[in-house]
Chains A and B, each alone.
Chain A
Amino acid sequence: MSYVLSLLIALPLAASPFVFLATRVNRRFGIYLSLGLAAVELLIAGYVFWEVYSQVPALPPGSYILQEKYSWISFSSFDLNYFLGVDGLSSPLLFVSALLTVLVIIGSRRLIDHHEAEYYSLIFLFEGAIMGVFTSLDLILFYIFWEIVLIPMFFFIGVWGGPRRKYAAMKFIIFTFAGSTIMLLGFLYFYMGMPSPSFDIPTIDAMLQAHQIPVGLEYLPLLASFIGFAVKLPLVPFHTWLPDAHVEAPSPISVLLAGVLLKMGGYGFLRVSIGLFPGASTQYAWVFLALGLFSMFYGAVAALLQTDLKKMIAFTSINHMGFVLFGAYATLISGSYIGIQGAIFQMFTHALAVGSLFMLSGYVQHQAGTREIPLLKGLGTSMPRTAAILVLGSAAAMGLPPFASFLAEFMVIVAGISASIFTAVSILVPVITAGYFLWMIKRTVLSPAEPGTEAHDMGWSDVGAFAVYLIPLVILIISSYLILSPALPVAQFLKGLP
């Protein structure tokens, strides 16, 4: 049995108190220690990613590699395991989470200036919990990690956030906690109704394939899990916590929110809503498809109306995450696997593209003193390096080749069209997205500079950090098989479930 996945979870959790103490004693040492530990974690995640890439495509669909399973709680009719495993759905998310954690630590050293010991230690708590969410194959274990993620995020927003941070933190925790407890109730209902109760995802899938679970049992859990995941994704109309949380959260935390936390919603839809309740999901696939499409349009149009750069990017997230739901359910309707493949790809590319923009909005605010688009003038002349990154990041976010986001959105839209020609209206979403990004660039980068403004451009080391967000996107449009080939068995498996 391999212990890699346990290590992936345990390393950040164990690092958390040490980083706290180290940063207390010496700030520089603490930050370098954090960076080193996060880099080690990234190496482990890279190893897992590579193992999945090299092994999974050859295995039968629905296989998980690097499995670990121990009995945790077991008495009378209750059985709970510590059960981990990865496949082509989880490995890209593990990798991108570890990568973003490194980048966030790099970005935080300038943007976070108080309670640093607590901050870096919570970053690792968050990372460990996230790794747990993406590797758990037991529903209760999954839920536990899911909830632990909330606690550091609550403090991130509430302690290091902007002026209305306390309101945003309370709104965040109550929304997401309510959503996830309802999800848990759905799991419990499902468990008690099964002929031989189990929380194991592979065991449940085996029962599904043997037609042992009646479709009638799936409706309520599907609804319950939908509420939990829709809040996280977030799907309109469950999204209202997101703009508040993003606007108030410090920029590095916005990167984690958009790049990692929202992925939990997309992951949940694929792994749980479709993976465990396939019968009910297929019956209501049109509803989900329509909701995804609505979210895409709503996010795009709402982003168009924002004057706060960060709020605009936040709505872009809603728009992009709508693609994930849209693609996933398009596959269920049409049977073309590229929907789910595109959805997984979209989660990866969105994390990097929007992550870079959120981090950049933090720099812009730090250097220019404001995030209001109408007040940001002449960045092209006063802050040329920042402006260049802003243009490139926007291009990645609007899905312009050579960034892999283009391919992801393209795949999802094609899958949608193969489900129904009417969903071709989704082609308008990237158009609106391109529209508001270009308009933003015109107002901020191409406008003449106000006379007398001081120029504080970012240093070359920061430019290097931003390159780490964007270069993988360029590589991936050529080497898209790195993500798509392990994603194919996932799509085949999910579509093949009865």
Chain B
Amino acid sequence: MIDYLTIAIALLAGAGLFLPLLQVVRSGKENLSGYILAIVLAAALLLIGMFTLNPSSVSWGGSLIIPDQMGGIFALVTVGVTLAVTIASFDFIKSTGRPVYYSLLGFTALGMVLLAYSQDLLMLFVSWELMSLPTYVLAGFDKKLRSNEASVKYAIIGAMSSAVILYAISLSYGLTGSTQISAVVDGFTSHPSALAGVATLLFVAGFGFKMSIVPFHMWIPDAYEGAPTTISTLLAAATKKAGFIAAIRVLLGITTLYAVTKSPLFTMANVFAVLALVTMTVGNISALTQKSMTRLLAYSSIAQAGYILIGFVAFSNAPGSSAAILGLTGTVFHVINHAVMKGAAFLAAGLVVLQLKRADLKAYDGLGKRMPITAFTLAVAFLGLAGVPPLSGFWSKLLLVLSVANGPYGWLALAAILNSAFSLGYYAWIIKRMYMDQGESTERVKEPFWFVLIFAVMVGLIIGIGLFPQQVISFVSNAVTNFAG
């Protein structure tokens, strides 16, 4: 029995460790390191895919690693996005120091894979840091003022969230005497205490920074705007998803916070419901007023995090019910779809930045004529994000709304629906700019091969999953059922 997961992890670690040597051996100017990392990531994607289809135990790690399908899905999503980012970087990153850039990307991917499979809080924290630290450097990789500002802001907030998580872990250990996630969750449920509630809320806050939950979202627009757009893609489409798997593993077992305030209203479902409502509403309203594409995408990404949280509400409200399975399936499915759609949108925006040297919305006037493939990708991604059928984003939103449509959280379903309709205001507005407004020029702009390749794959996924969602949904729903049962 070959242990595919271990090979994938070893490959990623090897790439991260040895790529910087290229900087020493060769000039570091050519793109060799990028090609190597892309091959490594593609191989890792394949290996993890095979592992996820036939999950087996791994021979190392003891109780630190849980090789389940849920982890597999998140590992696949994050590695897939990193692969797309790597390929897009061939054209995007022209400065010296490319080997270092790709090495850091490799380490981030490794961190995300390990995080997806963690079942111990210490393992989770270590992989969290392994994922985050390289991205602080990557966000400042442009060495421009804005980029540096983004990097510093992101690093400070990131360190704070790490500290919050670490504090929560130490409280959990003190209360339950274990760092195993399942033991901690059981301990919190069987011996509820005010301190356990505080630890839970600290986890919500700590993961919330990465998941871009309002009110922990302040750093997102600045960081996404300042960082190189490829790295913004990574942050929005990959590391954010890693925040979600951490939250799914740690927080979904806990249902009550009763001990904190002695109020029966203070349940995890209510906490998630309020966070979901605030997050989607703030995200959408802010997105409408933005003048730069990367900021608009950042706020749209925040809004999408709000939708994803709806599944948490359904699950925490009645774990084990059919609505809970629907909701968590919707959450995981939307994580997959959002990674593809937001990845496509960010990379399209990145190509516009690369070729037209600007990120303001005026650059998008008449883009349909100047960069037809990019504009089409952006239009499909936007319609998908708005939840227009038959694109992939429609199905996951449908499941999320369905899970709370009839019951105590019906108002959340209504809010999600109204938010979706509202969000079309800015998505359709950009589409209008690209296809109906007159641009400054109608000259064709070159669209590099590697970008076109990624766009084709992503648009294919958005439409393909939209038309034939059965395979993906049943796979996700299996993973969710195993996770819940």
Which positions in A face B, CB cutoff 8 Å? 72-78, 140, 143-144, 147-148, 150-151, 154-155, 158-159, 165-166, 169-170, 173-174, 177-178, 181-182, 184-185, 188-193
Contacts and interface: CB of A to CB of B under 8 A. Distances in A.
B258 to A, nearest CB: 27
A74 B323 CA distance: 15
B432 A75 contact: no
Interface in B375-399: 383, 386-390, 394-395, 398-399
B470 A173 contact: no
Given A150-B388, A158-B435, A158-B436, 8 more contacts: A76-B325, A76-B326, A76-B481, A144-B390, A154-B428, A169-B436, A181-B420, A189-B413
B424 A77 contact: no
B81 to A, nearest CB: 25
Contacts of B388: 147, 150-151, 177
Nearest to B403: A192
Contact of A159 (B323, B383, B390, B435): B435
Interface of A: prevailing SS: helix
B410 interface: yes
B402 A191 contact: yes
Interface string B409-427: 0100110011011101100
B322 A77 contact: yes
B474 interface: yes
A28 to B, nearest CB: 24
A174 B436 contact: no
A158 B436 CA distance: 6
Going nearest first, the 5 A-B pairs with the smallest beta carbon separation are A192-B406, A178-B421, A188-B405, A77-B322, A144-B389
A76 B323 CA distance: 10
B389 A174 contact: no
A173 B417 CA distance: 15
Contacts of A182: 417-418, 421
B421 A169 contact: no
B326 A77 contact: yes
Given A73-B473, A158-B432, A78 B413 contact: no
A177 B435 CA distance: 19
Contacts of A184: 398, 401, 417
A166 B326 contact: no
A166 B406 contact: no
B413 A188 contact: yes
Contacts of B414: 185
B424 A174 contact: yes
A178 B406 contact: no
Q: Which of B394, B420, B424 counts the most A-chain CB atoms under 10 A from its CB?
A: B424
Contact of B389 (A74, A148, A173, A189): A148
B328 to A, nearest CB: 11
Nearest to B433: A166
Contacts of A147: 388-389
B61 interface: no
B326 to A, nearest CB: 6
B437 interface: yes
A148 B390 contact: yes
Nearest to A165: B436
Given A169-B432, A174-B424, A76 B322 contact: yes
A78 B421 CA distance: 24
Contacts of B429: 170
A170 B390 contact: no
A187 to B, nearest CB: 9
B402 A192 contact: yes
B374 to A, nearest CB: 18
A77 B321 CA distance: 10
Contact of A185 (B389, B399, B413): B413
Nearest to B424: A177
Contacts of A190: 406
B214 to A, nearest CB: 22
A192 B421 contact: no
A185 B405 contact: yes
Contacts of A158: 432, 435-436
Nearest to B423: A177
A236 to B, nearest CB: 21
A177 B432 contact: no
Contacts of B425: 170, 174
Contacts of B390: 144, 148
Contacts of B78: none
A69 B421 CA distance: 31
B467 to A, nearest CB: 10
A143 B402 CA distance: 14
Contact of A189 (B322, B323, B405, B432): B405
A140 B398 contact: yes
A154 B389 CA distance: 15
B49 interface: no
B407 interface: yes
9 contacts: A144-B394, A150-B388, A151-B388, A166-B436, A166-B437, A173-B424, A174-B424, A185-B405, A191-B402
